Amino acid sequence: MKLETLRELNAERAARRPVIIVTDTSNGEQRLVKAKDIPSDPLRAEIATQLRMGKSANVEVGGKKLFLNVYAPTAKLVIIGAVHISQALAPIARALDYDVTVVDPRTAFASPERFPDVPLIAEWPDVALPPLNVDHYTAFVAVTHDPKIDDPALLHAFERDCFYVGALGSRKTHAKRADRLRALGAKEVDIARIHAPIGLPIGAVSPSEIAVAIMAEITAQLRLPPKEKEQAA
């Protein structure tokens, strides 16, 4: 790999932007494709597929054998609310290699005993969230049922373009939430992105089952093509 290519690669990775190195296996020629250039790249379909899967792969296009080396940022999961569902959700997400952080200003809930080995921030969202560098590769889950905590957190998720935004509550509860968010200046397009009721409809009842449904929905949002995402919703 050329030194300049390596420098560009490291810069994109440091900024948590996905990047792909395309190598012609017949002659070793390489080129770097940044996220902003994917829509206009001749290999955009192949690159999009491998980037969505988070895996490098050999492909053959136009008679050429190419290797797509995918560098995707590690996905994050920010959980707003140190509740029972969160206790089940955090270890599932960590098993799937997410960087997990739990935020809850209520210290009775956000305790190391309830969340061993999980980063906890016992602060209000306006203090806790900015240092986390929430971005497009972040899944964001609000489960406190407390508008004073969930609502400002959701607004932050909208601003940072999280790939998944979910919030606990029934359809009736969500309708009230949507009204509050509108009053706070949220756009309709952002409110429509909230997965609520949260999680895939698998008939989940217990906190652990709800956690499985949430993580399954997050995975579908991360991995499935757009049309299949709609079918899974």
Tokens of 32: 């770097």
Same domain for 126 and 60: no
Same domain for 54 and 141: no
Same domain for 91 and 19: no
Final residue before a domain boundary, out of 21, 46, 71: 71
Same domain for 175 and 218: yes
| Domain that residue 167 falls in | 76-232
Same domain for 80 and 64: no
Same domain for 80 and 67: no
Same domain for 182 and 94: yes
Same domain for 11 and 41: yes
Tokens of 145: 């049922």
Q: What global pTM score does this model have?
A: 0.90
Output the DSSP codes for 64-85. Answer: EEEEEEEE-PPPEEEEE--SHH
Q: How far apart are CA 208 and CA 134, in angstroms?
A: 25
CATH number at residue 116: 3.40.50.720
**Domain count of the chain?**
2
| CA 28, 31, 32, 36 torsion-angle sign | negative
Q: List per-residue pLDDT tens for the chain, 233 residues long.
A: 889 999 999 999 999 999 999 999 999 999 999 999 999 999 999 999 999 888 999 999 989 999 999 999 999 999 999 999 999 999 999 999 999 999 999 999 999 999 999 999 999 999 999 999 999 999 999 999 999 999 999 999 999 999 999 999 999 999 999 999 999 999 999 999 999 999 999 999 999 999 999 999 999 999 988 766 666 65
DSSP state, residue 124: -
Same domain for 131 and 201: yes
Final residue before a domain boundary, out of 71, 90, 112: 71
CB atoms within 10 A of CB 124: 15
